């Protein structure tokens, strides 16, 4: 009797236990989650295509887009003329930018000519008209000639490299004659200034219509030394604040 009771108890326990839900049969084909993911990727791809398409500047495309925006939000009649907006800050901004640029040029010139400045053979100064770079005539030209020394040509090319990209006018002024009672040698002064102008144009890349070569400067009182010491003859290279009218 005991042996027959055990199978009956097992059947009762099996009947009392809840049945586990059966898993529904999966349909054949792509799962639904994969379709949603593919739709998202497709939309992102379309978005990137639109972004790339509008990153290229095509006038016709932007005109079409502008027309659609006007139709959607409304706009003024294109035939109605509107007064231009005054931009008074433009001139002030240009003047400020020019001043900053010239100050940067002065700093570069002082760096290039630092050794000559220490020996009082070069000077860099600025005023309301522009930047002045003065060089001792004796280090530029061969004795008794308007021909430039080779080291002087290399130095002038360095100076030209820092001003070649500017539109400003460059004035080259030869020194005043030292000998009292004698007329100024215009031909020699012109040749000296022209020699520097030629280096600036041919080796420095400065346009010829930006260069003005003259043959006299005012007396250099700052160069007078002790009593009886001769005044230094300085070649003056002036980077003007104004630009060449032909380039504006």
Of 78, 232, 104, 87, residue with least CA distance to 162: 104
Give the CA distances from residue 141 to residues 123, 155, 190, in Å, rounded to whole numbers and listed in that order. 17, 12, 13
SS3 236: strand
Q: What is the pLDDT of residue 61?
A: 64
Q: So where are the chain's domains? A: 121-220+230-247
pLDDT tens digits, 95-140: 556 666 788 888 888 999 999 999 999 999 988 888 899 999 889 9
pLDDT tens digits, 18-65: 666 676 666 666 666 666 777 888 888 888 888 777 766 666 666 776
Cβ burial of 217 (10 Å; 0-12, 13-18, 19+) is buried
First to last CA, the chain: 122
Of 134, 133, 145, residue with least CA distance to 107: 133
pLDDT tens digits, 63-79: 776 777 677 666 555 55
Domain 121-220+230-247 sits in CATH at: 3.30.1330.60
């Amino acid at each position: 009797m005991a042996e027959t009771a055990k199978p009956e108890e097992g059947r009762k326990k099996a009947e009392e236990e809840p049945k586990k839900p059966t898993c529904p049969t999966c349909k054949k084909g792509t799962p639904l989650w994969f379709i949603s993911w593919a739709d998202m990727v497709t939309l992102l791809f379309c978005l990137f295509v639109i972004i790339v398409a509008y990153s290229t500047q095509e006038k016709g495309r932007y005109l079409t887009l502008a027309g659609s925006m006007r139709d959607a939000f409304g706009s003024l009649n294109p035939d109605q003329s509107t007064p231009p907006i005054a931009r008074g800050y433009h001139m002030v901004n240009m003047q400020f930018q020019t001043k900053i640029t010239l100050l940067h040029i002065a700093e570069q010139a002082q760096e290039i000519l630092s050794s000559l400045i220490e020996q009082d053979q070069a000077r860099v100064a600025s005023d309301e008209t522009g930047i002045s770079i003065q060089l001792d005539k004796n280090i530029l030209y061969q004795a008794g000639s308007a021909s430039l020394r080779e080291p002087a040509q290399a130095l002038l090319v360095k100076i030209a490299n820092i001003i070649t990209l500017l539109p400003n006018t460059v004035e080259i002024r030869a020194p005043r004659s030292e000998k009292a009672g004698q007329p100024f040698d215009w031909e020699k002064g012109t040749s000296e200034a022209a020699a520097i102008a030629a280096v600036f144009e041919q080796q420095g890349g400065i346009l010829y219509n930006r260069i003005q070569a003259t043959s006299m400067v005012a007396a250099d009182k700052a160069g007078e030394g002790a009593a009886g010491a001769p005044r230094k003859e300085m070649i003056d290279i002036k980077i003007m604040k104004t630009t060449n009218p032909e380039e504006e």
